[in-house]
Amino acid sequence: MKMPVKKSIKRFLIASILVGVSLPVIVVGGKKIFFYWSEQMHTFFTPEEVSITMIGPENSDLISKINYFTQQQIIKKSLLTTSPEILVALLQKTFPAIKKITYEYQPPKTILFTVEGTKPTCLVNGNFVIGDQPKLLNKTDFNANSLTNLPSITIDKRWLTDNLVRPSLYSLINRLTTKQWTTFAISYHAPWLLELAPYKSVCKTAILATEHSLFETKKFDAISSIFQDLCARGIITKKVLEAKNCSLLFDTRIKDQIIVRCNQPAKRGRGHG
């Protein structure tokens, strides 16, 4: 009965020796295989070329800037070590005119970006752009030819903070009609004070409005007939019409009234409703 026990011990010792010899070989070989495939994966997912597709308004300047940026930040760096969310956030932070951006990797060495750019709506204070997202963007973010025929608005700086446009102001800009853009030079001082200067007028004239009264079409349609009536009655004099620095004001901010004022004394200065 003792012989089987001795044989079992002997077999156990032999097996232990074999495991002790082969285990390091397996571990070393496994490490080599792991590092080999790891290196191959990193190499496989390391782009060397960038392709950019633009959706929406053409913006070759933005494409060039993105291409240069990606060459510096992404090319020859493994995508396995870069979070897609971080990559997209980095590009959108660097280029605020990007409305949306996605990317995919195309083996063997190309990363494809699809970029949706902001569509410009109007120029702001001569140096900035508002588009189809509530951001204040630099003119340099757009092709010059895409800004050529844009309408323009002047906005007091206090309403433009952290390169964002206040929601109600952004909504107002989007509600402005082609007729309003082409008829008036518009200055936004506050929600309760907008100043509209007609591009074509027989004298220096301005219309005061609020965010609400700006869209009261009946009031604005009545201004022309009120002006003609006041001239015919001699309330607006020839001296007023010929004055270079005299602003004739039509104030539409009071409900159901239009108040007419002039910096020079006229025969009567009452409101006209």
Question: Percent of the chain having pLDDT more than 70?
Answer: 73
Q: Say yes or no: 98 and 144 in one domain.
A: no
| Structural domains of the chain, count | 2
Query: What is the per-residue pLDDT for 24?
Result: 52
Q: Say yes or no: 107 and 124 in one domain.
A: no
Q: Say yes or no: 110 and 158 in one domain.
A: no
CATH of the domain at 69: 3.10.20.310
Q: Quick: pLDDT tens for 60-107.
A: 888 888 888 877 766 555 555 666 677 788 888 888 988 888 888 777
Q: How far is CA 191 from CA 10, 166, 187, 210, 259, in A?
A: 96, 11, 11, 6, 19
Determine how many CB atoms are found less than 10 A away from the CB of residue 209. Answer: 22
Question: Is 104 among the domain residues?
Answer: yes
**Is the predicted pLDDT of residue 240 greater than 90, yes or no?**
no
Query: What is the per-residue pLDDT for 62?
Result: 84
**Is the predicted pLDDT of residue 40 greater than 50, yes or no?**
no
Query: What is the per-residue pLDDT for 203?
Result: 78
Q: Say yes or no: 85 and 156 in one domain.
A: no
Q: Of 96, 117, 138, which marks where a domain is finished? A: 117
Q: Quick: pLDDT tens for 52-61.
A: 888 877 788 8
More reliable by pLDDT, 150 or 35: 150
Please provide the average confidence, as pLDDT, over all residues in the chain: 77
Q: Of 91, 117, 143, which marks where a domain is finished? A: 117
Question: Is 79 among the domain residues?
Answer: yes
Alpha carbon 127 to chain centroid distance?
A: 15
- Among 14-23, 113-122, 194-203, the minimum mean pLDDT is found in 14-23
Q: 232 lies in which domain range?
A: 120-262
Q: Say yes or no: 69 and 195 in one domain.
A: no
Question: Is 272 among the domain residues?
Answer: no
Average pLDDT score over residue span 4-18: 57
Query: What is the per-residue pLDDT for 44?
Result: 40
